[in-house]
Amino acid sequence: NAGVMQNPRHLVRRRGQEARLRCSPMKGHSHVYWYRQLPEEGLKFMVYLQKENIIDESGMPKERFSAEFPKEGPSILRIQQVVRGDSAAYFCASSAPYRAPGNTIYFGEGSWLTVV
Amino acid sequence: KQEVTQIPAALSVPEGENLVLNCSFTDSAIYNLQWFRQDPGKGLTSLLLIQSSQREQTSGRLNASLDKSSGRSTLYIAASQPGDSATYLCAVRRGETSGSRLTFGEGTQLTVNP
């Protein structure tokens, strides 16, 4: 059973370009979370999604950032017109439906975005 | 709003020493608390998870305790080794239902010197 898979692991973008980060949750998991870790800081919640629904996006910047988790395929975190301050590690996590046995949140290895 | 604080921010100890990392949280209404390890440039490795009804969990040289009423958790590492050097993150999960997200502390950066 593969873990949470994120790609790309490392991404370099020039200012103004778009960054797309992908996350495939663990098998059987229908809940996906995105977190951002700025340099020398802790992880900050961005968004929580279920299949085809955004449940909580209270941590998402108001502009340029969007997330989706379609019925088929991975979850996508999209950052438009990237700026240097977007350089960070973006972690995806997934969990099973509520009240499932062992309802733990599992993290991927992260995607490191560098904006030059 | 839940806030998680970890003390100390950094710790350097000689090999073999027993040590304690501290975590405190402001809202005691939590579902569970989890300790993670993060190596530089790497993802998170879950070390221990304590449900809100539990008081402690043990795995090898690691022991985590939870005092929900006072909003505190400790991670005890026995007989520390250089390989334990990493950043240790504490995170609380708000609930089983809405949101269900983790709130992280800033981490404790541990260095174990040979």
Beta-carbon separation of A56 and B107 below 8 A: no
Residues B60, A22: Cα–Cα separation, whole Å:
35
Half-sphere exposure of B17 (CA within 13 A, CB side): 15
Nearest to A39 by CA among A6, A7, A86, A83: A86
Q: Which two tokens stand for residue B38?
A: 């993060």
Chain B interface includes A56 (CB < 8 A)? yes
- Residue B67: its pLDDT value, please? 96
With 0-12 CB in 10 A as exposed, 13-18 as middle and 19+ as buried, what is B83?
exposed
Q: Which two tokens stand for residue A41?
A: 């800081």
| Cβ B107 vs Cβ B6: under 8 Å | yes
| Cβ B75 vs Cβ B21: under 8 Å | yes
Average pLDDT on B14-41 reads 93
- Residue B23: its pLDDT value, please? 98
Low-confidence spans in chain A with pLDDT less than 50: none
Question: Mind telling me how many Å the CA of A64 is from chain B's nearest CA?
Answer: 22
Q: Which two tokens stand for residue B55?
A: 């008081």
Beta-carbon separation of B101 and A112 below 8 A: no
Chain A interface includes B67 (CB < 8 A)? no
Minimum Cα–Cα distance from B95: chain A residue: A98
At B98, the pLDDT band (50, 70, 90 cuts) reads very low
Alpha carbon B13 to its chain centroid, in Å, reads 18
DSSP for residue A26: P
Which residues of chain B make contact with A91, given a CB cutoff of 8 A? 43-44
Nearest to A42 by CA among B71, B73, B38: B38
Average the pLDDT over each of B8-17, B34-43, B80-89, B92-101 and give the range with the smallest value: B92-101
Q: Which two tokens stand for residue A61?
A: 């910047």
At B102, the pLDDT band (50, 70, 90 cuts) reads confident
Chain B interface includes A42 (CB < 8 A)? yes
Q: Which residues contact B53 (CB under 8 A, 6 or more apart)?
A: none
Average pLDDT on B51-70 reads 94
DSSP for residue A98: T
| Cβ B68 vs Cβ B28: under 8 Å | yes
Please name every residue paired with A45 in a beta bridge, in sequence order, or none if there are none: A35
Listed in sequence order, the DSSP H helices in B31-111 are none
Cα angle B100, A7, A93 (rounded to 5 degrees) comes to: 10
pLDDT at B45 over 80: yes
Cα angle A107, A33, A27 (rounded to 5 degrees) comes to: 60
Of A56, A95, A107, the CB nearest to B44: A107
Of B43, B93, B105, the CB nearest to A110: B43
Cα angle B108, B112, B114 (rounded to 5 degrees) comes to: 170
- Residue A86: its pLDDT value, please? 96
- Residue B85: its pLDDT value, please? 97
